[in-house]
Each structure stands twice: as C-alpha cells, then as structure tokens.
Amino acid sequence: QAQNSIKFGLCYDLSKAYTFVTPQIVQAAKDYATLLNAKGGIEGHPIEILVQDHGNEPQRGIECYEKLKREGVMMFDYLSTPVSRAVLPRHMQDGNVMLQSFVGRGDAVDGDVFKWIFPIGPTYWGQMANDVAYIKSQHKGNLKGVKVGFIYPDYAFGQEPIPVLKTLAAKEGFDLQLFPNPMPGRDQAAVWTQIRRFNPDWVISWNLSAMHVVAAKEMKRNGIPMEKLIVVNWLNEVDINNIGAAEAKGLKRGTNVVGGKDHPLMQQIIKEVYGAGKGAGDAKNLDDIYYNTGLAMYSSMFEGVRQAIKKGGWPLTPAKIKDGLESLRNFDANGFIAPVTVTAKDHGGGGKTRIDMWDGSKWVPQSDWTAAYTDVVDQVVKEQSAEFVKSGK
C-alpha cells in the first residue's frame, strides 16, 4: 500500500475495431503524463499509465479491470461503448472510478445513479442532440417533413444515440429512418442503395473512421451530395485524406475538441516532450485530432485528480477522486474543450459540442460550443437511469 504513484488503467481496444484511434489516445495520455512527471507529477506524485488490450470484447474488458484493480489502479478507462457498458456494474459495486469521456453510455451522466462513472465532456446523446439542433437551424427552425437518414454499425456504439434520436424525431416531427449496417461495417453498398431511395435531406453517419470513408465514397457513387452528411466525431485527417480533400468538401462533423497544433498545451508537448525525444509514439500523430481528443480527456482527468489530492490529501482513494472530479468548475483546459462543470448530480459537465465543416482544406466551425435540447436529453437520461436502477442492466 505504499504506493506513491497515481495509476490510470487504460483498457483499450488496440487490436480489433478501434485500432485507428486508440494508439493516438494512449500516446497523448502518456505524453501528457511525461510532461507533468517532468515537473514532479500531480502534487508531487508521478502518473503511471497502464495500458492493456481488450479487443473490444466486453469480457476482456472485465478481465482487464479485475487484473488492474489488483495492481492498485483506481481509475479506469475503456474507450468503448460495449466494454464500458459491460464493466460498469462492477465499478458501481466495487466503487472504483470509471472515466468514460466521449463514449457510451449516455445516461451515466446521472451522478445520482452512476456514482462512479464519469463521462466528462459531451456524450453521444448530447452530440446527437446538437446535430439535430444544427439541422434544425438549417431549416429555419422547422423540422416537419424533413427526412433524416441515420446510418450506423449495428452494435452498441452505433445503437447508442437511437433513444435520443427517436425522442427528438417524435418531438420535432422529422421523418427518421434507421439504416443499420452489419459489422465490420465496410460493405455498405446495400445500405446506400436503400438510403438513396429514401432520398434524405440529411444523413447522419455514426460510423468509425474508415467506415466514414466508405460511406462518403458510396454517397458519391449514389449521387448524394456531400453537404448532406453529418458524421460523429470519430473522423480524422487520415480519413479526409482517404476520401480526398476535395471530394470531402462540405462534409460536417460533430466535434468535441479543438484540432490542430496551435494550442499552447500542444506546443508545450512538442517542445518539452518531443523536443527531448521522450515522445511515446510517432510525432506525426500530433497532427491527428484523435491525439487532441486524448489530451482533452486526460487534461480533465489530471485536473480532477489534482483537486482530489488538494482537497483530501495523499493517499488517494476512489472516494477522494470522485470528490476531486466533481469539483471541476468551468474547466476548459485553456480553451481546448468546451468548458465543463462537473457536480455530484451531473457527471457530464455540460456536454457541449460544435459542428465543423470541411471546406476542402480545413475545418470551419459552423456553430459555437452548444448543448441543445438539454431538457430532452435529460429526460431520456432520467428514464434510462431509472430503468438501470430497476433492472440493474
């Protein structure tokens, strides 16, 4: 028990469906830790990042949790909707902190029910609500009769925003059609034939990286203009490149973090970590928005832990960490993310995103950081968390 370091357990899918993103996020977490450790860590305690692969299989996530738990880890991140969902009850039972930024499940923002789960930043639900709000703004505030097609890979991550989307469709009266696509989600020709027939005004694509690329190409082959496409945040520079910078023009993306290398934190890392040759990976990944996403995630985590030690002192306990995270106020990591305020009731912290559009050479913000339909999202959150309390699943 004489442990001096702060251990983070990163149980990630490094080998199957999410390999396009996890290495960058791990790299960001490690680089940030290196940066802080060089200055004595958090309140004098070094950060330790433990990484293990779970192949996006829930049971292996559980295994990872059980193993790292015994190695003294109190904060875990799974970066996967299905895995987070599976491990969640154990966290609830054992009282260990689960970081769940940017992945499902959406109702975990309800701090009353999900005491130990911290989806800091926007959830998929919030992001979806914002997407719909954006569409609404493009239709002069009236969504009646507007046709929205939703294409998603048919598993937990893709299915995640459906409750919110359906509720919104009922509320706003737009015409929603779902287009599930079996995993691995690459062979989309069939789905797009259907989508073209549906003739949507908007297509929301809840895909992951390369699947977006396929989707964009299929859109072209089916003669659907790129402007109609809104994608979830998991699309990066590599994907734009694969679609073709010119071809991708007009594509819109729900965005959670600021991209690019201009931010001071990025600059600092480039100088002090990569400059010193201590980077945890390839420097070219610094161009990748997924790297920024990782930094964003861990900047709020580290800040939370800092608060925890400040308030409760060493040694850390899960309860102290919980306290620390719940005392984040208007934290925006120096403008890296939309400001979050985490409380005991709200573990999300606001859930603001914005819509960016690719203009052929760069991303152009189409809106401010916003959180729309908070009432609707809240309502769905309450419904689902109540359901969780009732059935335990």
Partner 1 sequence: MLYRRAGIFHTSYADDRRLFPIPFERWAMLALLAIALAAPFMFSSLALTSYIRPWLIWSAAVLGLNLVLGWAGQFHFGYAAIMGIGAYASVHAARHGVPWEIAVVLGGLMATAVGVVFAFAALRVKGLYLALSTLAMQFVMDWVISHVPAISGGVAATLQAPPMRLLGQVVKSEAGTYYVVLAWTVAVTLFMLNLRRSALGRALVAVREKDYAAAVIGVQAFRYKLVAFAASAFIGGVSGSMLIYGFYHAVTAEQFAVNVSIEVLAMVIVGGLGSIIGSFFGTAFILLLPGQMNAFIAWAARSIGLDVGVEALAHIPYMVYGATIILVLLLEPMGLGKLYGNVRNYLMVWPFGYVRK
Partner 2 sequence: MDWMYFLELAVNGALAGLMYALVAIGIVLIYKSSSVPNLAQGALTMLGPYLVLAFAVQAKLSMWLAIPLAMVSMFAVGLVIERVALRRLAGQPVVMILMMTLGIDIFLRATALTVWGGSGRNMPLGISDAPLFLGPLLVNRAYAIGAGVTLVMFALSIFFFRTRMGTVLRAIADDYTASWSVGISVERGVALSWALSSVCATAAGVLWGSVQTVDQSLSLLLLKGITVGVLGGLDSIGGALLAGLLLGILENVASGYLDPLLGGGTRELVVAAVLILTIMVRPHGLFGRQDIERI
Residues that bind partner 1 (CB under 8 A): 14-15, 19, 23, 26-27, 51, 53, 56-59, 62-63, 66-67, 70-71, 81-82, 85-86, 88-90, 104, 155-156, 159-160, 162, 280-281, 391-393
Q: Which does 223 bind (CB under 5 to 8 A by kind): ligand LEU, partner 2, partner 1, none?
A: partner 2
Phi first, then psi, for residue 153 (nearest 5°) are -75, 140
In this chain, which of 29, 47, 79, 117 binds ligand LEU, going by CB under 6 A?
79
What is the Cα–Cα distance from 277 to 365, expressed in whole angstroms? 34
Considering beta carbons, is residue 16 or 67 the nearer one to partner 2? 16
Query: Site residues for ligand LEU, window 102-141 (CB under 6 A)?
Result: 103-104
Does 210 contact partner 2 by CB under 8 A?
Answer: yes
329: preceding bond cis by omega (within 30 degrees): no
C-alpha R_g of the chain: 20
User: What residues does 204 pair with on adjacent strands?
Assistant: 150, 230
What is the Cα–Cα distance from 281 to 71, expressed in whole angstroms? 25
Q: How far is the CB of 225 from ligand LEU (least distance, A)?
A: 26
Q: Is 384 helix (H, G, I), strand (E, B) or coil?
A: helix
What is the Cα–Cα distance from 125 to 148, expressed in whole angstroms? 17
Considering beta carbons, is residue 198 or 274 the nearer one to partner 2? 198
Q: Which does 28 bind (CB under 5 to 8 A by kind): partner 2, partner 1, ligand LEU, none?
A: none
Considering beta carbons, is residue 18 or 116 the nearer one to ligand LEU? 18
176 in Cβ contact with 192 (< 8 Å): no
Does 193 contact partner 2 by CB under 8 A?
Answer: yes
Q: How many Cα atoms occupy the beta-carbon half-sphere of 361 within 13 Å?
A: 0
In this chain, which of 40, 89, 173, 182 binds partner 2, going by CB under 8 A?
182
Q: How far is the CB of 105 from partner 1 (least distance, A)?
A: 8
Beta strands in the chain (DSSP E): 6-12, 47-53, 75-77, 97-99, 117-118, 147-153, 175-181, 202-205, 229-231, 252-255, 354-358, 363-365
Q: How far is the CB of 156 from partner 2 (least distance, A)?
A: 13
312 in Cβ contact with 323 (< 8 Å): yes
SS3 content of the chain, % helix, strand, coil (to 5): 45, 15, 40
21-50 mask for partner 2 (x: CB under 8 A)? -xx---------------------------
Residues 6 or more apart from 112 whose CB is under 8 A from it? 344, 345, 385
98 in Cβ contact with 77 (< 8 Å): yes
Residues 6 or more apart from 297 whose CB is under 8 A from it? 25, 28, 29, 77, 99, 101, 102, 120, 121
Q: How far is the CB of 343 from partner 2 (least distance, A)?
A: 36
In this chain, which of 24, 27, 34, 80 binds ligand LEU, going by CB under 6 A?
80
Q: How far is the CB of 72 from ligand LEU (least distance, A)?
A: 25
Q: Which does 367 bind (CB under 5 to 8 A by kind): partner 2, partner 1, ligand LEU, none?
A: none
Does 267 contact partner 2 by CB under 8 A?
Answer: no
Query: Site residues for partner 2, window 227-256 (CB under 8 A)?
Result: 238-239, 241-242, 247
**Residue numbers of the site for ligand LEU (CB under 6 A)?**
18, 21, 79-81, 103-104, 157, 208, 234
**Residue numbers of the site for partner 2 (CB under 8 A)?**
15, 17-20, 22-23, 154, 177-182, 184, 186-191, 193-194, 196-197, 209-210, 213-214, 217-218, 220-223, 238-239, 241-242, 247
